[in-house]
Amino acid sequence: MKITRIVYYCTYTRHSDTLPQYSIAFETEEAARVEAKKLIQQGYWGTIERHRQAKQDDENDYGWLPDWNVPDNRAIELLDSF
């Protein structure tokens, strides 16, 4: 059986020529915004993203992947920049 969840991430970097890093997954958008404020104070900039993820019920917690079976392939959405 397929299980889905929605989580929020901050992607952040200090330099435009380096790949961004991902924060831990947050359960709410507000928690991601609080993390973004902390990152800004540390000199980082980046984005807040909403990820719709899916896995099979018999997989462990590392089995979460983008759920591309949603309308308009909106498994990952950019919500805001900071």
**pTM of the entire structure?**
0.88
* pLDDT > 90? residue 61: no
Q: What is the pLDDT of residue 55?
A: 95
Question: What is the per-residue pLDDT for 35?
Answer: 98
Residue 72: is its pLDDT beyond 90? no
Write the pLDDT tens digit of every residue in 17-58: 899 999 999 999 999 999 999 999 999 999 999 999 999 988
Please name the residues in contact with 54: beta carbons below 8 A apart, sequence gap of 6 or more: 2, 3, 4, 5, 64, 65, 66, 67, 69
pLDDT at 73 over 90: no
Of 49, 61, 55, the closest CA to residue 23 belongs to 49
